[in-house]
A and B are shown apart, each in its own frame.
Chain A
Amino acid sequence: MNRRDFLQAAAILVAGNSVLPPGIALSQEQSAFLAAQPSYIDQHELTFFSKGQRNAITTASEVIIPRTDTPGAIDAGTPRFIELLVSDWFTDEERAPFMAGLADLLERAGGDFAALAPAGQLALFEALEEEASDSSWYSLGNIFRVWDFEAPFICQLKELTVLGFFLSKVGATQVLRDNPMGRFDGDVPLGPDDASYNASPTLPTRKYFYQVTDRS
Chain B
Amino acid sequence: MKETQFDAIVVGSGISGGWAAKELAEKGLKVLVLERGRDIRHARDYLGEHAGTWQMPYYGLPDRELVAREYPIQGDEPAFSHATLQYWNKDRENPYIRNEEKPFKWVRADMVGGRSVMWGRQTYRFAEQDFRANEQDGHGIPWPVRYDDIAPWYSYVEKFAGISGEARGFKQLPDSEFLPPMDYFAIEKTALARIAEKLPEVTPTIGRVAILTQNHMGRAACHYCGPCERGCSSGSYFSSQSSTLPAAQATGNMTLLSDMVVTQLEHDETGRRITAVSAVNTRTRERVRFSSKLVFLCASTVASTQLMLNSASDKHPAGLSNQSGALGHYLMDHAMIRHIGLMVDNVNSYYEGERPNGLYIPRFRNNFGQDEDADFVRGFGYQCMPLRMDWQSFFNRKGFGADYKDALIRPQPFWIWALGGFMECLPYRENKVFLDKQRTDRFGVPLVSTEFSWGENELAMARDTAVQAARIYRAAGALYWQLAGEDELSEGGQGIHEMGTARMGHDPKESVLNQYNQAHEVDNLFVTDGSFMTSAACVNPSLTYMAFTARAVDYAVKRLNEGALS
B57 close to chain A: CB less than 8 A:
yes
Closest partner residue, chain A, to B230 (CB atom): A201
Nearest A residue to B405 via CB reads A65
Q: Is the CB of A184 within 8 A of B351?
A: yes
> Are A188 and B352 in contact, with the CB atoms below 8 A?
yes
B64: chain A residues within 8 A (beta carbon): 89, 146, 213
Binds B, one of A17-25, A51-59, A100-108, A109-117: A17-25
Q: Which residues from B are CB-within-8-Å of A146?
A: 61-62, 64
The A-B contact count (CB < 8 A) is: 251
A211-B73 Cα distance, complex, nearest whole Å:
11
Question: A58-83 toward B: CB 8 Å interface, digit per residue (1/0)?
Answer: 00000111101010100000000100
Contacting pair A176 B409 (CB below 8 A): yes
Known interface pairs A126-B400, A180-B352. Does A196 touch B388 (Cβ–Cβ under 8 Å)? yes
What 1/0 mask marks residues of chain A from 35 to 55 whose CB sits below 8 Å from any chain B CB? 001111100000000000000
The residues of A that contact B410 with a CB separation of less than 8 Å are 193-196
A118 CB to nearest B CB, Å: 9
B54 partner, pick from A27, A63, A172, beta carbons under 8 A: A172
Give the one of A143, A190, A209 with max B CB within 10 A.
A190
B389 — which chain A residues lie within 8 A by C-beta? 205
A3-B55 contact given A176-B409, A179-B354, A189-B348, CB 8 Å threshold: no
Known contacts A30-B50, A159-B396, A186-B188; can you find 16 more A-B pairs with CB under 8 A? A22-B234, A24-B220, A38-B55, A66-B401, A68-B402, A126-B400, A143-B396, A146-B62, A166-B408, A176-B409, A179-B354, A190-B347, A198-B52, A203-B81, A206-B392, A209-B340
- Chain B neighbourhood of A129, CB < 8 A: 398, 400
Say whether A181 contacts B224, CB under 8 Å.
Answer: yes
**Residue among A39, A41, A64, A187 with the most chain B CB within 10 A?**
A187
CB-CB under 8 A from A24, the residues of chain B are 220, 223, 233-234
Pair A159/B395 contact, Cβ less than 8 Å: yes
B246 at the interface (CB under 8 A from A): no
Question: By DSSP majority rule, is chain B's interface helix, strand, loop, or mixed?
Answer: loop
Using A22-B219, A64-B404, A125-B400 as known contacts, say yes or no to A40 and B354 having CB atoms under 8 A apart.
Answer: no
A window 154-181: CB within 8 A of B: 155, 158-159, 162-164, 166-169, 172-173, 175-176, 179-181
Complex: A39 Cα to B396 Cα, angstroms: 25
Among the stretches B39-47, B248-256, B371-379, the one at the interface with A is B39-47
On whether the beta carbons of A181 and B225 are closer than 8 Å, the reply is yes
B47 contacts A186, C-beta separation under 8 Å: no
How would residues 397 to 422 of chain B score, 1 for a CB under 8 Å from any chain A CB and 0 otherwise? Answer: 11011101110111100000000000
Which residues on B sit within 8 Å (CB–CB) of A93? none
Q: A181-B225, A215-B72 are in contact. Are A63 and B44 (CB under 8 A)?
A: no
CA distance A34 to B410 in the complex (A): 28
- Selected interface stretch from B19-27, B178-186, B258-266: B178-186
30 A-B pairs (CB sep. < 8 Å)? A24-B234, A29-B44, A30-B46, A40-B55, A64-B404, A65-B405, A81-B59, A122-B401, A129-B398, A158-B395, A162-B408, A163-B59, A168-B54, A169-B52, A172-B54, A176-B391, A181-B225, A185-B353, A186-B186, A186-B188, A187-B183, A188-B351, A190-B411, A194-B350, A194-B410, A195-B410, A200-B53, A203-B81, A211-B76, A213-B75
For residue B67, give the distance in angstroms from its CB to the closest CB of chain A. Answer: 5
Cα distance, A142 to B72, chains bound together (Å):
24
CB distance from A101 to the nearest CB of B (A): 16
Do A143 and B47 touch across chains, with their CB atoms under 8 A apart? no
Q: How many residues of chain A are within 8 Å of chain B by beta carbon?
A: 90
Is A16 on the interface with B (CB-CB < 8 A)? no
**Is residue B226 contacting chain A, with contact meaning CB distance below 8 A?**
yes
Min C-beta distance of B250 to chain A, whole Å:
15
Flag if B78 contacts A34 (CB, 8 Å).
no
Determine whether the beta carbon of B52 is less than 8 Å from that of A172: yes
Question: Contact check: which of A27, A29, A39, A181 meets B55 at CB < 8 Å?
Answer: A39
- Taken together as a complex, chains A and B put the C-alpha atoms of A86 and B82 apart, in Å, by 19
- CB–CB B223/A22 < 8 A: no
- Report the minimum CB–CB distance from A209 to chain B (whole Å): 7
CB atoms of A179 and B55 under 8 A apart: no
B351 touches A196 (CB 8 A): no
CB of B56, distance to nearest CB on chain A (Å): 6
Q: Across the interface, do B405 and A172 meet the contact criterion of CB distance under 8 Å? A: no
| 6 closest cross-chain pairs (CB), A and B | A201-B226, A184-B353, A167-B59, A27-B44, A196-B390, A187-B186
Q: Which residues of B lie under 8 Å from residue A84 when comparing CB positions?
A: 58
User: Is A204 positioned at the interface, with any CB of B under 8 Å from its CB?
Assistant: yes
Residues of A within 8 A of B506 (CB): none
Q: Chain A residues in contact with chain B, CB under 8 A?
A: 3, 6-7, 22-30, 33-34, 37-41, 63-66, 68, 70, 72, 81, 84-85, 88-89, 122, 125-126, 129, 133, 137-139, 141-143, 146, 155, 158-159, 162-164, 166-169, 172-173, 175-176, 179-190, 193-209, 211-213, 215
Q: For window 452-509 of chain B, which residues contact chain A by CB distance below 8 Å?
A: none
Residues of B with C-beta under 8 A to A187: 183, 185-186, 189, 346, 349, 351
Distance, CA A166 to CA B405, complexed state (A): 10
Residues of chain B within 8 A (CB-CB) of A168 are 53-54, 59
Distance A216 CA – B435 CA, assembled complex (angstroms): 24
Q: Which residues of A contact B390 (CB under 8 A)?
A: 196-197, 205
Contacts of B406 in A (CB 8 A): 68
CB proximity to A under 8 Å, residues B102-151:
none
B530 interface residue (CB < 8 Å to A) = no
Q: Are A27 and B401 in contact (CB under 8 A)?
A: no
Choice from B57, B75, B225, B397 contacting A201 with Cβ under 8 Å: B225
| B residues less than 8 Å from A33 (CB atoms) | 47
Which residues of chain B are within 8 angstroms of A198 by Cβ–Cβ distance?
Answer: 52-53
Contact B224 A26 (CB under 8 A): no
| A183 → chain B closest CB, angstroms | 5
- B218 beta carbon closer than 8 Å to chain A: yes
Judge whether A25 and B234 touch: CB under 8 Å.
Answer: yes
Residues of A within 8 A of B440 (CB): none
Report the separation of the CA atoms of residues A207 and B75 in the bound assembly, to the nearest whole angstrom: 11
Q: Are B60 and A203 in contact (CB under 8 A)?
A: yes
Q: B51 contacts the other chain (Cβ, under 8 Å)?
A: yes
Taking a contact as CB atoms under 8 Å apart, the answer to whether A209 and B391 are in contact is no
Residues of the B chain whose Cβ atoms lie less than 8 Å from the Cβ of A88: 58
Contact: B53 with A34, CB < 8 Å? no
Chain A residues whose CB sits within 8 angstroms of the CB of B396 once the complex forms: 137-139, 142-143, 155, 158-159
Complex interface: chain B residues within 8 A of A125 (CB): 400
Residue of A nearest to B218 (CB): A22
**Contact partner, B352, options A6, A184, A199, Cβ 8 Å:** A184
Contacts of A25 in B (CB 8 A): 43, 220, 233-235
The yes or no answer to B166 lying at the interface (CB within 8 A) is no
| A contact residues around B392 at 8 Å (CB) | 143, 166, 199, 204-206
**B215 contacts chain A at the CB level, 8 A cutoff:** yes
The answer to whether B398 touches A184 (Cβ under 8 A) is no
Chain B residue with minimal CB distance to A24? Answer: B234
With A179-B352, A182-B353: A29-B47 Cβ-Cβ less than 8 Å? yes
